[in-house]
Amino acid sequence: MTDQTEPEVVTSLEDDEGLRIVDILSHTEGHFTYAEYHRGEGEQDDWQLVEDDAAKTYTTQFAAYTAATRNVEWLMD
């Protein structure tokens, strides 16, 4: 059985209001991915996963960052 660890957040991109973020993640296998989160409203004031692009992997941090800026609309504002 393989011992899988949680990916490391290497960069977080946050909107001006602090309500949305995209994390660029480094995996122990040597690849990168990104995940988008929005802050919940009301009683659920925690981060909720919106888009998890973990199915697509990238060979570099820059490639994952570039993919996120192409696919996450608010990053281009």
pLDDT digits (tens, 9 = 90+) for 29-39: 999 999 999 98
Distance from C-alpha of 69 to C-alpha of 40, rounded to nearest angstrom: 22
Q: Yes or no: say if 13 and 21 are a contact pair by the CB < 8 Å rule.
A: yes
Q: What is the dihedral of CA 52, 55, 60, 65, to 10 degrees?
A: -30
pTM assigned to the model: 0.82
Q: 1 in a domain, yes or no?
A: no
Residue 31 belongs to domain spanning: 8-70
Q: 19 in a domain, yes or no?
A: yes
Q: 47 in a domain, yes or no?
A: yes
Q: 48 in a domain, yes or no?
A: yes
What is the percent of the chain with per-residue pLDDT over 70, rounded to a whole number?
A: 84
Structural domain count of the chain = 1
Q: Yes or no: say if 30 and 17 are a contact pair by the CB < 8 Å rule.
A: no
Q: 2 in a domain, yes or no?
A: no
Task: State which H helix or E strand residue 69 sits in.
Answer: helix 61-71
Q: 43 in a domain, yes or no?
A: yes
